[in-house]
Structures are given as C-alpha cells and as structure tokens.
Chains A and B, each alone.
Chain A
Amino acid sequence: MKSINLFIKVNLILLFNILSGNNLFSSETGPAKITQPNRLAIGGYGQIDASKSFGRNEMNNAVLDIHRLIVIMNYKFNQKLRLFTEIELEHVSEVYVEQAYLNYRFSNLLNIRGGLILVPMGIINEYHEPNTFNGVLRPLTDKIIIPSTWREIGVGITGLITSASINYQLFLVNGFNSYTGAGTLNGTNGFRKARQKGAESIMTSPNFAGKVSYFGVPQLKLNISAFIGKTESELFNNLNKANTELVARADSSIVGIQMFTGSMQYKLKNLYVRGQYSFVNISNSYNYNAFTGNDLGSAMTGYYAELGYNLLKLKTKDDSELIPFIRFTQINTHKKVERNTLRNKAYKVSQITMGIGYKITPLAMIKTDIQFVKNGNDANYANYTVNVGLGFSF
C-alpha cells in the first residue's frame, strides 16, 4: 500500500508541475538553435486477458485478469544522463518495479547503465509490450526457460556500432536466489520462482549477462544472448568459514548456470517470421537436488518458431494490421538430469498456438488464440486453452 500511495503522490506532484506551467517540458525550437532535451516522457502499456482451459475429463472456469498495467516515466537530466523507470501493477494488486536505471551516454558507441535492468535474453524479455508480439500470452519458453520479465540490479555498458550494424549490451547483474529456506529451482517452474526482481535481493556472486544484435540486413534482426554465473543463496549469510559442514551445505544450495539464446526476427512484405532457441546448462544440480530434495534438471531447452501474415494492405489509413499466426513452442526442463533425479516426461511440454490479432492502430490490439498443449506423457494434444485479450501501449 505504501508504494501505491507514494506512486500516487509522485504523479500528483508531476501533474501539478505540468498544470502550473513549470518548465519541465521546455522545448526550445527554431532554426539553428539547439533543441533542449524533452525532459520528461510518460508512457505505459497493459494487457487484459480472459482464458478458459478445456480438458478431456474436467471443467474449468474462465479467468479474467488485468494481467499487467505499467506506467513508464523517463526523465532526461541533461543530454547525457537519463533515468528510466517502469512501475507495474500485476493482477491488479501486486506492485513491482520492472525497470529503474540511470543511463549515462558517452556516444552511440558507449553508454554506462546501472540500476534495475532487464536481462537481455531473447526477444520478449526486452520488447514485451503486448502490441509487439502475437498471441495473448507470451510464449511458454519466455515464461519458464527465460523467466520474463526477468530483471535484476546490475551495472554494465551498451552501445551501437553503426559501421558494423551491431548493438551490444554487457552487464554484471545479480543472479537467481536458489535457496530461501527451501530450494526455489525445480523442473516445474524452471527459474521462474527464483527471480529476485531487485526487492531486497541478496548476492553471493555477480553474473554476466550479454546480448549482441545484428541489424545489417533490412527487416532481419539476429540476436545472440548469454547469461553465465552462479545462483545466490541465503546460506552464505553469517557463514562460519571454519565449519566445513555448513560451508558444504551452502555450496550445495547454489548451482552454476550457463544460458545461451539465439533469436531472429524477419519481415518480408506481409509475412512475419520469428524464432528463438535457448539452451541452459546447469552445474551442481546433483548436490542441489540431494540437498533440497528438488528435481532440477542439469540441462534445459526451450524454443519456438512463429509465422504471421498481415492480411490488410501494407498501407492502411491507421496502419491497421490483421495478423493470423501460428506458433510451435517446446520446452524441456529435464533435457538432462543427474543420476539422483528421475527424468520426468511431463516436463517436456509442447504447445501449438493458433490465433489472430487485430492492430486497430499500432498501439492497440485485440487478440484471440487457442493453445493446444501436450506433455511427454500425453499421446496427443488433448488439452487446450482459449484466450482473448486486449493489449495496448502509449
């Protein structure tokens, strides 16, 4: 509640400043003059979904949810220094900070950034506004393998090498918290329950996160991302170095993670193509599972391939698009397991999503789709979910 109150107060102060004509938005214009930076930008995005699952032997209610509603506030202190924040209300009552960082800009080539930053992994973790992707929900691989929206506190550098058409991001960030009295990593949720999201997060050792994007061919974008490091654990707090048993317990509560993702986006006239493949190697899962009793795999994979086609002409009055699409997603959190863990076939989940999205304008979208799901134990795609949603950003 406190944070909501603070948030409302901040907004009221900003509104007062705007109404009273304070010079927050000063913009000097005219020939041969230097344009002042537009200091404050306010934006946001959100998605409202309705989902109903159908099974062979069960009945389900539909779930109607304000999935997320986000306010973006972006402030330029001067031409070099800017603050970027995203404050999120998830499922109406949960309040999060999704991004909050300062960015100091030397040139196209070099920015230094610090704060709560997005881990640059795959496509959707960074570009997650609902009008930028097909389907009501994010692909399964961007939920379990890449736990979007994945953000942690860190520092690093970013930049654009225009001569080579390359964008790069290199960060040192905090890692997953793999032990909070019990193990948080497992086969069902992957890394999802271990994100710290910058909330009184603990760090045993920093992790490396990096991404390189190539955009030299118009309409094609290729990305490679890596995340390398060890998870964090509360057992390293007040740890007596001399007590070998406690040190061994603490060592067993963390794992090493090497995650690599390749992704591509391509547009050819009305055709949209997207693909992404992630591979995660996890070390020390033998000791981790023995200690926590969890069923974490020693390797995970997740990928999807998606085709969409805009049925409307390329140039409509409002830039409207009507895009039917099909996406195949597969994740496997037990791609490999250590010998003390039983491979669970149910953790290999395949999903076929077929749907259609109507962009009323590029900013507002109505979506509907049907998702057929099966896991490694199912003979066919017997279970399905129907989703309807609104997505918007401004």
Chain B
Amino acid sequence: MKYLFLFCTIILMGWMPNIPLNSKLVNSKKIDRIIYRLWNLKNSEKEEINIPLTIYENYSTQNFAMNIYKLKHNSNVNGYLIISSASGCRNGGCKAPDELSHSGKNKQDFLLSDNFSFALFFNTNFEIINVTILDYESEYGYEICSKNWLKQFVQIKNENYTYGNNIQAISGATVSAKSITNAISELKEMMKKLKREKLL
C-alpha cells in the first residue's frame, strides 16, 4: 500500500500540461549538449527557416511535423538542425510491412504505428554529422536508439542509404529502422535541394 501511495504521489508531482512537441524538443538540454559537443558552443542561436510548401510535396516527410533550424553564433552559421519524426514499431509488435513505414504515401497507414522523433545535424557542407533519437515511445524497436547503429548515417557520406545493405538491418526493429533510414535519405536530399534553390 505504501508503495502504491508513493507512486501516486510521484505521478501527481510530475503531472504537466502538454507542450507542442518539436518546439519543446529543440530547446531541450539534450539538443544543447549535442551542439556543445559538435561545435563547442554553449549559446547557439536556433533560427527557424520557413520552407515553401512546394519543397515538401515530393517527400513523405510532409506527413510528419518537421522543423529546420539554422544554428548561428555571433551571426556566423555553424550548421543546420532538423527535428522530425518517423513511424516506428508499434506497441504490440514491430512487424508492419514496408508500406507502413516512412516511405508510405497513404496517410492512413500512419495510424497503425507509433511515431518517434529524431534530430539530424548538418554542417555547412550539408553533410550529416549527428543523428540522435529524441523521443522513442514504443516497447518495440528501441534498438535503433543505439549510437553504434546511428553513426552509420554519419560515416556513409557519398552514397545513398539502403536499409539492409550499407545500413545494417536490425531484427525485431525492422519498421523503425527502415523508416528512419528512408526519412534521413529524404531529408538529406531535401537539404541539397534547399541549398540549390538558395533557400537556406
């Protein structure tokens, strides 16, 4: 009984209203720690970039909340940060086939999966320098949070990512692993497009 009381107290103490996800995530300590590690900067300004709708249309990224930030310090641009989500393994099983993953074009498909959010850091050469999973909810497929697995996206520079080929497959986490691979591929391409069209 006393344990139950203790847990109830913790729940009540910890209750807080819901804050919009990405705007909360971008100002999290976790993001600041990564910025400090990557650029040795304590106070980096995050300036949100407004992307025209036409850029999105060809990407399945449009199905998810997505924000792009310019990371600045004393008016120098150090790099870019994208915060977005992908559909992951659902509680109840990591087993949905390909069309339910990030590449799925049908929005209804996303109803079946749990989304997770991630941060993608680019340097000024538009190369990926860090991938971090920010919020992973499901009991299934959390193996993608492993740093050793995520660093593949940083190490592979001049090739396209192919799940199961140059990106290692993870058994039991197929949906999440495939969808983040597709998402990062698309976002990388999108950044190139934004650069070409001088929108950054």
Q: Taking beta carbons and an 8 Å cutoff, which residues of A are in contact with B?
A: 25, 27, 29-35, 37-38, 40-41, 43, 45, 72, 74, 78-80, 82, 84, 86, 104-108, 112, 114, 126-127, 129, 131-132, 155, 158, 160, 162-163, 165, 167, 172, 206, 215-219, 221, 265, 267, 272, 314-315, 318-319, 361-363, 393
Contact = CB atoms under 8 A, between A and B. Distances in A.
B160 interface: no
A243 B22 CA distance: 63
Contact of A162 (B51, B67, B133): B133
26 contacts: A25-B111, A30-B56, A33-B65, A35-B21, A35-B63, A35-B85, A38-B110, A38-B113, A38-B114, A43-B92, A43-B112, A72-B92, A79-B21, A104-B11, A108-B145, A112-B10, A114-B7, A155-B3, A162-B133, A215-B146, A218-B149, A218-B168, A221-B143, A314-B164, A363-B97, A393-B93
A79 B18 contact: yes
Interface in B41-62: 48, 50-51, 53, 56, 62
A129 B93 contact: yes
A27 B111 contact: yes
Given A45-B93, A218-B170, A314-B164, A32 B66 contact: yes
B148 to A, nearest CB: 6
| Interface of B (DSSP majority class) | mixed
A232 to B, nearest CB: 15
A151 to B, nearest CB: 14
Interface stretch (B73-81, B121-129, B134-142, B181-189): B134-142
Most chain B CB atoms below 10 A, which of A31, A104, A105 = A31
B161 interface: no
A80 B111 contact: no
Interface of B: 3-4, 7, 10-11, 14, 18, 20-22, 48, 50-51, 53, 56, 62-67, 85, 90-93, 95-98, 107, 110-115, 132-137, 139-140, 142-143, 145-149, 164-165, 168-172, 174
A78 B10 CA distance: 19
Question: Across chains A and B, which 9 residue pairs bring their CB atoms closest together, nearest first?
Answer: A72-B92, A162-B145, A35-B65, A215-B143, A267-B171, A34-B20, A218-B149, A43-B92, A38-B111
Contacts of A158: 139
A72 B138 CA distance: 14
A86 B132 CA distance: 32
A107 B135 CA distance: 7
A247 B20 CA distance: 57
B132 to A, nearest CB: 8
Given A35-B65, A162-B146, 14 more contacts: A27-B111, A32-B48, A37-B115, A38-B113, A79-B21, A84-B91, A86-B92, A104-B11, A112-B11, A127-B140, A162-B136, A216-B146, A315-B165, A319-B97
Contacts of A219: 168, 170-171
Given A29-B62, A35-B115, A215 B142 contact: yes
B90 A74 contact: yes
Contact of A393 (B95, B165, B172): B95
B66 A31 contact: yes
Nearest to B53: A31
A319 B177 CA distance: 14
A359 to B, nearest CB: 10
Contact of A218 (B4, B51, B62, B148): B148
B172 A32 contact: no
Contact of A43 (B93, B98, B170, B171): B93
B97 A132 contact: no
A106 B24 CA distance: 13
Nearest to B115: A35
Contacts of A82: 91, 137
A165 B172 CA distance: 16
A192 B139 CA distance: 25
Nearest to B21: A34
A41 B112 contact: yes
A132 B133 CA distance: 25
Contacts of A45: 92-93
A126 B94 CA distance: 13
A361 B98 CA distance: 10
Contact of A32 (B7, B65, B142): B65
A265 B143 CA distance: 12
A24 to B, nearest CB: 10
B96 A363 contact: yes
A363 B90 CA distance: 13
A217 B148 contact: yes
B169 A314 contact: yes
A221 B67 CA distance: 33
A303 B63 CA distance: 45
B145 A31 contact: no
A27 B110 contact: yes
B135 A108 contact: yes
Contacts of B132: 162
A167 B140 CA distance: 11
Contact of A172 (B3, B95, B114, B139): B3
A131 B171 CA distance: 12
A86 B139 CA distance: 15
Contacts of B146: 162, 165, 215-218
